[in-house]
Amino acid sequence: MDAEEIEPELDAEYSYSISLRWAADVVGVVEDFFDGPGEITTRGDARDWTLALLTQIEQQFEPGDTDYVSRAMSATMGQQTTGGSSGRVSDAETCPACDAPFFQFRGMDTYEQAQNHFAYMDDEEHEGWDISLEERP
């Protein structure tokens, strides 16, 4: 974005914003912005902060958890995060191979979400699994 339009007193040509979208069981999709240590004004800093955030997302992820992105944002900023998840979903349909909830994958119902999960997960742990959910009209 043009930095002058966002914050006229900012001494930079551009201001970068990092936005994220992730699945949540009740609302479907959560969208939020990652606020770095202040304005991110160079492409290199935007890349570095994005890579740091993605690394933390991978480290904070737990199957069945919907709060891992918030913890990753905090950890990226050097804040203390608590172990475990306050966003644990216990009654969601999960993968029999890895216990990941199907709602975290694209689809209008559990059947489509399971199809997309197994299409995406091409590791050894998921080999040989078929979708046993019945498609409903």
**pTM of the entire predicted model:** 0.62
Distances (CA, A) of 21 to 5, 24, 50: 25, 10, 14
Asked whether the predicted pLDDT for residue 11 surpasses 70, the reply is no
Please give the structure tokens belonging to residue 100: 């990941």
The kind and range of the H/E element at 32 are strand 28-34
What would the pLDDT profile of 67-121 be if each residue is shown by its tens digit? 888 899 999 999 887 765 555 556 778 888 888 888 878 888 888 888 888 888 8
What would the pLDDT profile of 26-45 be if each residue is shown by its tens digit? 666 778 888 888 888 888 99
Please give the structure tokens belonging to residue 6: 């966002």
Please give the structure tokens belonging to residue 79: 């804040």
Asked whether the predicted pLDDT for residue 137 surpasses 80, the reply is no
Q: What is the pLDDT of residue 52?
A: 95
Torsion sign over Cα 55, 59, 60, 65? positive
